[in-house]
Amino acid sequence: MSTTTNTSRLGSLLMAPVHLLMRIIDVPLRSLQKATGISGMAAFFLAPNMLIFGIFVLLPLVINFVYSMTGGTAFFLAERNFVGAEQYSRLFTCGSYLDPMSCQEDAFWTAVGNTFWFVILQVTLMILVALVTALILNRDLAARSFWRAVFFFPVLLSPVVVGLIWKWILQRQGLLNFGLYQFGVEPYTWLTDRNWTFVATIGVSLWAHMGFYALILLAGLQAIPKDLYEAAEMDGTKPARVFWRITLPLLMPNLLVVVVLALIRAVQIFDEVYVLTGGGPGTSTFYLTQYIYETGFASALRNPGLAAAASILMGLVLVVLTLIQLGIGQRGEKKGKR
Amino acid sequence: MGVASRFILRRKGGKGWHWTDIVTWLWLVGGLIIMFGPAVWLVFSSFKTPAGLAEFPPSILPYVTQQATVQGYDKPLQLFEAKLPDGSTRVLAEVRRIGIMSQMVDPKTPGETIRVNINDRTPVRTLSFATENYTQPFVHFNFLRYLWNSVFVTVTATLITLIVNSMAAFALSKYEFRGRSVAMLIILATLMVPLSVIMVPLYSIISSLGLFNNLWGVILPTVATPTGVFILRQYMLTIPDELIDAARMDKASEWQIYWRIVLPLTAPALAVLAIFSVVWRWNDFLWPLIVLSRRELYTLQVGLSIYSGELNVQWHFILAMTVVTMIPVVLVFIFLQRFITTGIAGTGLK
C-alpha cells in the first residue's frame, strides 16, 4: 500500500515541471483559440505532424521525380542540370533484354534479377512456414503465449544484430560447421560461395521475419468461428477436408494481406543482407535497395539522378502491390458488411 | 513442471499419438532451438577470448586452457593432463611440440623433460568469462559515445513521435473541419512510402537544412509516423465526445482538453506506440548510415556494421557489442512482448 502511494508521489513530483510547462503553454494558446475559434485549433494540433510529414515525406516524394530527370554528382537541386529522360533511358539501354550483362547499367539489372529470385523464393517459403507455424500455434497448446513469443523473438532484433549473429554462425569455425562436423562434414566457408550466400540471405530473412507473419495468420485463424469446426466434426469430416474447405477459404483474406506485405518488404531487402554479405561475394546477393544506396551515396561514380530513377521504378512496383492490398482490404470490408 | 508435462504428453485427444501431435512437438521444439539458439550462441561466444573464438570444433561454453609460469621459461606455458606410459596421469606444462611428440615439464620440477605422445595429453581447461570483451570496447571504440547517440536518438524521437502524433490524432478524431478526410488519406497513403524510395531527395533536403552529420537529421524524418497517427486516432475515436463537451462548458481551453482529458485516456495506445517507436528507432540502420559519416556521431547499429566490415574483424569485441545492442530489445521482448503482439494482431501494422 505504502509503495503505491510512494511511486505515485514520485510520479507526480516528476510530472510537476511538465504540468507547469503545459500551464504556461496554455496562456498563449488560449489567446490563439480566441482569435481562431475552436475549429482553428484543429489546424494548430494538426500542424506539427503535417509540417514534418510534408518536409520529410511528401516533399522528397515530389522532388524525386525532378531529381530523376537531372544529371551530375551535385546533391543540391539548383546545381543539377536538366537531362530529361536520360537516366531512365540509361537504365533501359540493353543489347539484349534477355541478358542483364549486355545492358549499360548491368549492375541495375543484376540487382533486379537477384531481387526477383529472392522475392519469389523468400515469399513462397515465408508463407508456407508462417502458415504451418500459425496452424500449430492455433492448436490446443499448453502455454500457447509462450510458444507464440518464441517464434516472435527474432522479429524484434535489429537487422544489424541479425546479420552479425548469422555471419558469426556461418563462419568457418561457426555453429553450422560445428553441427555438420558431428556428421563428418568438413568445415566450409559458406559466405564465400555465391550460391550458398544467396540461400543464406533467404534463410536469414526468413528467420528474422517469419514470426511477424505467423502472428497475423494466427489472429486470422482465431477469428474463424469454432462452431464451424464442431459441425464438421459431428459430420465426421476428414481433417484434410476441414483444412481445404473451412480453414483455408476463411483464412484467405488474411493470407492475401500477408502475401502482399511479405512481397512489399522482400522487394526492399537491404539491412540484414548488407551486414551479412555486403552484397557479395561478387554480385550474388546484390539487391535493388543496395543498388540505389550505392549509386546514390557510396560509389565513387556517384549518380543521384540515376539512383532516383531506379528508386522511382521500385516505387512503382510497391504502389502496384499496395493497390492490390487496398483492393483486398476493401473486398474484405464489403464481405464483412454483408 | 505441470505445464511442461502437459505439453510433452499432449495428444490430439482420445487414444494414442496422432501424427499431428508429433509434427507439433517437433515444430515447437525445433522452433525453440532455431529461434533462440543463435542468440544464445552469440551470448556464449561473446565471453570467449580471441583464441577461444578461433578454435574448431568450438566449445559451447567459454573455456580457456590453463597456463602456468614455470621457472626457467619466459612465457607462460599451457597446462595439459598427460597420460604417462605407466598408466598414471599428471598435470604437465608443454614446452614445445615436435611432430607427434610433445616435450613437457612438471611445473614443480622444471629440470626434467618428459616426452609424451600428443594423443595422450588433453588440455586443462576451465570455464572463464572474458569480460574484457565488454569493458575494452569502451576504451578502444568510443563505444560509450555510440551507446549515448543511440539512446539519445531513441528517446528523443519517441518523445517527439508521441507528442506530434497524438496532437494530429486528436485533431483528426475530435474535430470536424474541411480537408479532414484528405489529411487522413494523405497520411494513410504514405504508410507505404518506404525510405528506399525517397532516400536520395530526402538526403538533399537534410543537407540543405544543415542536418547532415547531425543526430537531428536522423531523428526528424522518422517522427511523423503514419502508423502512430493511425493507432492513436482509432483509440481516440472511442473516447466519448460528451466528456469534451462537458469540459468546454467548464471553460477548459482546447489545449487543456487535449492535455488533461484526451491524453490520459489514450494512455494504453500511447504505451503501445512508445514500445513500437523505441524498437523502431533503436533498430534503424539505413538512414543513420546515410546521414552520419563522422565516427563520433555513429549510432550503435552503424558503428557495429562499420567495425564488422573492416578487414581485421575483431570478433571478440564485435560479439560483445552485439550483445549490448541486443539488450534493450530483449528487455522489451521479456516484459512488453504481449503489447506488441496484440498490437500487430489487431492492426496488422509494424
Q: pLDDT per residue over A53-111, tens digit each?
A: 999 989 999 999 988 998 887 777 777 888 888 888 888 888 777 777 788 888 899 99
Q: Are residues B269 and B325 in the same domain?
A: yes
Of A15, A27, A50, A158, which to mutate for an interface test with B (greatest number of B Cβ within 10 Å)?
A158
Q: Distance between CA atoms of A40 and A179, rounded to whole angstroms?
A: 66
For strands A70-71 and A81-82, give the pairing: antiparallel
Q: How far is A84 from chain B (nearest CA, A)?
A: 17
Q: Are residues B249 and B307 in the same domain?
A: yes
B253 within a domain of the structure (yes/no): yes
B58 within a domain of the structure (yes/no): no
Contact status, residue B255 vs residue B244, Cβ threshold 8 Å: no
CB half-sphere exposure, A211, CA atoms < 13 A: 25
- Locate the chain B residue with the closest alpha carbon to A38: B254
Scanning A203-232 for CB atoms below 8 A from B yields: 207, 211-212, 215-216, 218-219
Contact B329 A304 (CB under 8 A): no
Measured between beta carbons, the chain A residues lying within 8 angstroms of B190 are 53, 57-58, 61
Closest to A290 measured CA to CA, from B289, B217, B219, B307:
B289
pLDDT per residue as tens digits for the range A111-158: 999 999 999 999 999 999 999 999 999 988 878 888 888 999 999 999
Q: Are residues B100 and B166 in the same domain?
A: no
For strands B113-117 and B101-105, give the pairing: antiparallel
Contact B54 A30 (CB under 8 A): no
Q: Distance between CA atoms of B281 and B304, rounded to whole angstroms?
A: 16
The verdict on B133 touching A (C-beta cutoff 8 Å) is no
The verdict on B6 touching A (C-beta cutoff 8 Å) is yes
The verdict on A20 touching B (C-beta cutoff 8 Å) is no
B221 within a domain of the structure (yes/no): yes
Measured between beta carbons, the chain B residues lying within 8 angstroms of A132 are 27
- Region label for B131, one of left (φ > 0), alpha (ψ between -120 and 50) or beta (otherwise): alpha
Alpha helices in A157-247 (DSSP H): 159-169, 175-181, 194-222, 226-234, 239-242
Q: How far is CA B67 from the centre of its chain?
A: 35
Grid coordinates of B125? 581447461
Q: Are residues B35 and B122 in the same domain?
A: no
Contact B42 A168 (CB under 8 A): yes
Predicted confidence pLDDT, tens digits, chain B (350 residues): 455 555 555 555 555 677 778 888 899 999 999 999 999 999 999 998 888 888 777 877 888 777 777 777 777 777 888 877 777 777 888 878 777 888 888 877 777 778 888 777 777 777 778 888 888 887 777 888 999 999 999 999 999 999 999 999 999 999 988 888 888 888 877 777 788 889 989 998 999 999 999 999 999 999 988 889 988 998 999 999 999 999 999 988 999 999 999 999 999 899 989 998 999 999 999 999 999 999 899 999 999 998 888 767 788 888 999 999 999 889 988 888 877 777 776 655 54
For residue B286, give the nearest of A150, A154, A271 by CB distance. A271
Q: What percent of chain A has pLDDT over 90?
A: 40
- Locate the chain A residue with the closest alpha carbon to B189: A322
Helix (H, G, I), strand (E, B) or coil at A217: helix
Query: Which residues contact residue B123 at a Cβ distance below 8 angstroms, ignoring those fewer than 6 apart?
Result: B65, B66, B78, B79, B80, B81
Q: Are residues B318 and B229 in the same domain?
A: yes
Q: DSSP assignment of A127-168, as one string? A: HHHHHHHHHHHTSS-TTHHHHHHHHHHHHHS-HHHHHHHHHH
Q: Distance between CA atoms of B289 and B196, rounded to whole angstroms?
A: 13
Q: Are residues B93 and B235 in the same domain?
A: no
pLDDT per residue as tens digits for the range A183-223: 888 888 888 899 999 999 999 999 999 999 999 899 889 88
- Locate the chain A residue with the closest alpha carbon to B51: A173
B56 within a domain of the structure (yes/no): no
The verdict on B231 touching A (C-beta cutoff 8 Å) is no
pLDDT at A337: 41
B338 within a domain of the structure (yes/no): yes
Residue B79: phi and psi, rounded to 5, are: -95, 140
Closest to B214 measured CA to CA, from B296, B303, B301, B292:
B292
Q: Are residues B105 and B140 in the same domain?
A: no
pLDDT at B221: 93
Supply the CATH number for residue B207's domain: 1.10.3720.10
Grid coordinates of A135? 496452424
The verdict on A18 touching B (C-beta cutoff 8 Å) is no
Grid coordinates of B13? 485427444
For residue A142, give the nearest of B10, B204, B258 by CB distance. B10
Measured between beta carbons, the chain B residues lying within 8 angstroms of A48 are 163-164, 167-168
Q: Which amino acid is at B184?
A: M
Q: Are residues B187 and B226 in the same domain?
A: yes
Of A27, A57, A65, A180, which to mutate for an interface test with B (greatest number of B Cβ within 10 Å)?
A57
Q: Are residues B222 and B256 in the same domain?
A: yes
For residue B165, give the nearest of A39, A49, A164 by CB distance. A49
Of B161, B176, B200, which to mutate for an interface test with A (greatest number of A Cβ within 10 Å)?
B200
Domain boundaries A106-337, corresponding CATH code: 1.10.3720.10
Q: Are residues B226 and B290 in the same domain?
A: yes
The verdict on A27 touching B (C-beta cutoff 8 Å) is no
Measured between beta carbons, the chain B residues lying within 8 angstroms of A76 are 204, 207-208
pLDDT at B7: 59
* H or E segment and range at residue A306: helix A304-337
Q: Which domain holds residue B71?
A: 63-127
Grid coordinates of B269? 495506445
Closest to B325 measured CA to CA, from B292, B295, B301, B289:
B301
Peptide bond into A304 cis (omega under 30): no
Q: Which amino acid is at B240?
A: P
Question: Between chain A and chain B, how many beta carbons pairs sit less than 8 Å apart?
Answer: 288
Q: Are residues B19 and B146 in the same domain?
A: no
Using 50, 70 and 90 to split pLDDT, how confident is the model at A299?
confident
Q: Are residues B176 and B304 in the same domain?
A: yes
Strand partners, B114: B104
Measured between beta carbons, the chain B residues lying within 8 angstroms of A289 are 196, 286
The verdict on B3 touching A (C-beta cutoff 8 Å) is yes
Alpha helices in chain B (DSSP H): 2-9, 19-45, 50-54, 132-140, 143-174, 180-189, 195-208, 215-223, 226-236, 241-249, 254-256, 263-265, 267-283, 286-291, 300-308, 315-347
Q: DSSP assignment of B168-235, as one string? A: HHHHHHH---TTHHHHHHHHHHGGG--HHHHHHHHHHHHHHTT-TTSHHHHHHHHHS-HHHHHHHHHH
Q: How far is A49 from chain B (nearest CA, A)?
A: 5
Contact B35 A153 (CB under 8 A): yes
Measured between beta carbons, the chain A residues lying within 8 angstroms of B287 are none
Q: Distance between CA atoms of B68 and B93, rounded to whole angstroms?
A: 7
The verdict on B40 touching A (C-beta cutoff 8 Å) is no
Q: Distance between CA atoms of B58 and A171, rounded to whole angstroms?
A: 11
Q: Which amino acid is at A173?
A: Q
Residue A215: phi and psi, rounded to 5, are: -65, -45
The ipTM estimated for the assembled molecules is: 0.86
* H or E segment and range at residue B114: strand B113-117
B290 within a domain of the structure (yes/no): yes
Work out how many domains chain B is built from and give that number.
3
- Which has the higher per-residue pLDDT, A50 or B5? A50
B72 within a domain of the structure (yes/no): yes
Q: How far is CA B314 from the centre of its chain?
A: 19
A47-52: long-range contacts at Cβ-Cβ below 8 A with a sequence spacing of 24 or more? A48/B163, A48/B164, A48/B167, A48/B168, A49/B164, A49/B165, A49/B167, A49/B168, A49/B224, A49/B229, A50/B168, A50/B183, A50/B224, A52/B164, A52/B220, A52/B221, A52/B223, A52/B224
